[in-house]
């Protein structure tokens, strides 16, 4: 890591860490006393004939006329749906990022993109453009329910590309932007080099097989070992929706990068990366980071590999996210 990026990362994490820890501790104490009950609700958005599933969690039901909580919208990646990514409990591990953020005082949303989870499974390949259109369709629902038109966004892997593209087109909607497991140009990426070997398949098939072995590979392809309990839980959740997912994001990531212009990002941004992530070289991600204008940006390395949300460093990732979200903006 360059001195510039390392300094920015350390400064960002340390500056907001104390406040983030206090927020988390307060939520944990309230939960222990039975005061912090998480409320949830399902919603639907329409993208033409496509029905999109949206899910929400927060502490307590919203009260009409009362100021709403800050909103965080979590966007999933290429293989797993929204709640399998962000609202999962596996054995003794509570991996629910939605619950964590709800207890920290946020109104937390996720969705299933077209072709995933509860949303309509169509003949389309669910490419990155479709993912941006999904977010655009979901936003009026979130705005109507929360009263907020400017919110925080978090995306992991192809989810980071979806929200990055959305941020390029709708900067007025972005409060703070969090990009995890990001790929920029894709140059030198071991994972994308391997995917390119199946390019003919991605071009000729709109869906790809997604079985237990494939899900396991998400957690093992960068040389780390997956928790069998975690994999079994994800498989059980995802197989309810079938044994395949769209190919569009894989095709785009092997043929169309870069799709996000860092120069056009105008909001504070946090870039999160696992120490051993084959989806992009660290040089590629740092190149993106350096091109983001302004000084309200942070780069953080987290223990683990590609998936940070469900990886071994997920608690460090949570801490970093909370610190970023609760850090005051620069004055003046």
**Cα 143 from Cα 121, distance rounded (Å):** 25
**Residue 198, domain extent:** 3-326
Token duo for residue 100: 């964590």
The answer to the question of residue 285 being in a domain is: yes
- For 14-19, the CB contacts below 8 A with 24+ separation are 15/323, 15/327, 16/322, 16/323, 16/324, 16/325, 16/326, 16/327, 17/319, 17/323, 19/323, 19/326, 19/327
302 has which bridge partners? 274
Q: Residues in the chain, how many?
A: 332
**Exposure on the CB side of residue 245, measured as CA atoms within 13 A:** 23
Phi, psi dihedrals of residue 57, rounded to the nearest 5°:
-140, 145
Residue with the two structure tokens 């400017």: 150
With left for phi above 0 and alpha for psi between -120 and 50, is residue 117 left, alpha or beta?
A: left
Q: How many domains does the chain have?
A: 1
Structure tokens at 10: 């350390």
173: in domain = yes
- What pLDDT score does 332 carry? 62
- Say which residues have a Cβ less than 8 Å from residue 301's Cβ, sequence separation at least 6: 1, 9, 273, 274, 275
Closest CA to 137 of 160, 124, 120, 123: 120
- Angle (nearest 5°) at CA 258 between 253 and 260: 110
pTM over 0.85: yes
Helices (H) and strands (E) in the chain, counts: 12, 12
183/161 Cα distance (integer angstroms): 8
CA 67 vs CA 27, 140, 326: distances in Å? 19, 18, 18
CATH number at residue 316: 3.40.50.1820
Beta-bridged to residue 153, according to DSSP, are 73, 177
Q: What is the pLDDT along the chain (332 residues), one digit of tens a residue?
A: 444 344 343 334 333 343 444 444 444 444 444 457 999 999 999 999 999 999 999 999 999 888 899 999 999 999 999 999 999 999 888 999 999 999 999 999 999 999 999 999 999 999 999 999 999 999 999 999 999 999 999 999 999 999 999 999 999 999 999 999 999 999 999 999 999 999 999 999 999 999 999 999 998 988 887 789 999 999 999 999 999 999 999 999 999 999 999 999 999 999 999 999 999 999 999 999 999 999 999 999 999 999 999 998 999 999 999 999 999 987 76
Residue 332 lies in a domain: no
pLDDT at 66: 84
pLDDT at 64: 85
Minimal CA–CA distance to 110: which of 147, 150, 80?
80
Residue 247 is predicted with a pLDDT of 98
* Residue 19: how many other CB atoms lie within 10 Å: 15
Q: Is residue 331 part of a domain?
A: no
H helix or E strand, kind and range, residue 175: strand 174-180
Rounded distance between C-alpha atoms, residue 119 and residue 44, angstroms: 9
Residue 114 within any structural domain of the chain: yes
272 found inside a domain: yes
What are 196's two structure tokens?
Answer: 């390119």
């Amino acid at each position: 890591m360059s001195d510039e990026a390392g300094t920015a990362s350390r400064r960002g994490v340390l500056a907001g860490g104390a406040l983030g820890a206090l927020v988390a501790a307060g939520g944990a104490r309230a939960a222990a006393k039975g005061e912090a009950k998480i409320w949830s609700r399902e919603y639907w958005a329409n993208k033409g004939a496509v029905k999109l599933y949206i899910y929400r969690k927060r502490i307590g039901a919203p009260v009409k006329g009362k100021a709403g909580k800050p909103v965080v919208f979590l966007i999933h990646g290429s293989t797993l749906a929204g709640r399998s990514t962000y609202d999962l409990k596996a054995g003794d591990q509570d991996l629910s990022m939605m619950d964590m953020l709800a207890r920290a005082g946020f109104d937390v949303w996720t969705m299933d993109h077209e072709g995933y989870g509860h949303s309509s499974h169509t003949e389309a390949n669910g490419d990155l453009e479709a993912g941006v259109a999904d977010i655009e369709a979901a936003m009026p629902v979130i705005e109507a329910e929360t009263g907020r038109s400017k919110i925080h966004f978090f995306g992991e892997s192809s989810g980071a590309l979806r929200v990055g593209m959305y941020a390029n087109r709708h900067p007025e909607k972005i409060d703070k932007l969090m990009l995890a497991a990001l790929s920029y140009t894709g140059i030198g990426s071991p994972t994308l080099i391997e995917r390119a070997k199946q390019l003919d398949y991605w071009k000729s098939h709109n869906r790809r097989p997604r079985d237990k072995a494939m899900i396991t590979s998400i957690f093992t392809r960068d040389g780390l070992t997956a928790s069998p309990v975690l994999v079994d839980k994800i498989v059980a959740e995802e197989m309810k929706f079938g044994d395949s997912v769209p190919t569009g994001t894989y095709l785009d990531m092997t043929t169309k990068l870069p799709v996000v212009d860092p120069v056009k990002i105008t909001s504070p941004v946090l870039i999160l990366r696992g120490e051993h992530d084959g989806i992009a070289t660290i040089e590629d991600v740092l190149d993106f980071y350096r091109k983001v204008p302004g000084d309200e940006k942070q780069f953080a390395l987290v223990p683990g590999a590609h998936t940070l949300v469900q990886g071994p460093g997920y608690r460090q990732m949570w801490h970093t996210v909370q610190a970023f979200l609760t850090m005051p903006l620069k004055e003046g």
